[in-house]
Amino acid sequence: MMLQRYILQRHQQLLEKQMGFYTPTGIHVYVKDPIDNENVDLEKVVVHLEGTLPEHLLGEIEMIIIGNFPEFERRKLNAFYDGGTIYVSPDQDSNDDLYDDLVHEAAHSVEQPYGAFIYQNGKLEQEFLEKRRALHKVLWQLDYKIPENVFLNPEYDEEFDMFLLDKVGYDKLETLTQGIFVSPYAVTSLQEYFATGFTEYFLDSNHSYLKQLSPQLYKKLSLLQDPEKLDNDY
């Protein structure tokens, strides 16, 4: 009888753990739909996230939900941040794939409390638009005859995003953006330029490539590590 009760209790504990848990800093991780890949260890990845990012850069995140949502199909993405919650697709290739998604969306959560520091002096936008101009020249030479002013809107534009995705293609863009952007997705908007740089910063402890490629972005990210330096406008 005692053994049966123990087995039932153990089964219930495992079931609850599969459905969700709280992290040491109080983030609620909820599994709406199980991760497709049994080799992905959700708890291990979240622990790694909290152990790598400074606590103040996780302060806006209240919840992480693993599940299928219409936005993933509609917006052609597998994670997004909204109102204190990171929504992540259960379609994950590996722990690294999941970690990349979480760090990238953590970057978007940082924009709310530190947006003025990140964007207000205009230096990051200037660097981003210089890179957009450089990419425009490359694409023009390859017969993508798009007016330069289309490239000079720093905000997200769905038509421009679809041009990059459908007309150019991310495989080709991967090659064309080398030496300009840290990844093709960084081209999408100023906010994604910041978020992809943020992700690169925390995925690669050797920051020499990011520092060389995007010096203004690198400076912003370096200063963000210490809240006491955030008044420094360099």
pLDDT digits (tens, 9 = 90+) for 19-45: 788 888 889 999 999 998 989 999 999
Banded model confidence at residue 121, pLDDT cuts 50, 70, 90:
very high
pLDDT level of residue 8 (50, 70, 90 thresholds): very low
CA atoms of 179 and 95, how far apart (whole Å): 28
pTM of the model: 0.87
Assigned domain for 234 exists: no
Domain boundaries, position 28: 2-118
- State the pLDDT at residue 16: 41
Question: Among 68, 99, 118, where does a domain finish?
Answer: 118
Residues 84 and 125 in one domain: no
Q: Which of 83, 118, 153 is the last residue of a domain?
A: 118
Average pLDDT in the chain: 89
For the four alpha carbons of 65, 113, 188 and 93, in that order, the dihedral sign comes to negative
- Whether residues 87 and 107 share a domain: the answer is yes
pLDDT tops 50 at residue 3: no
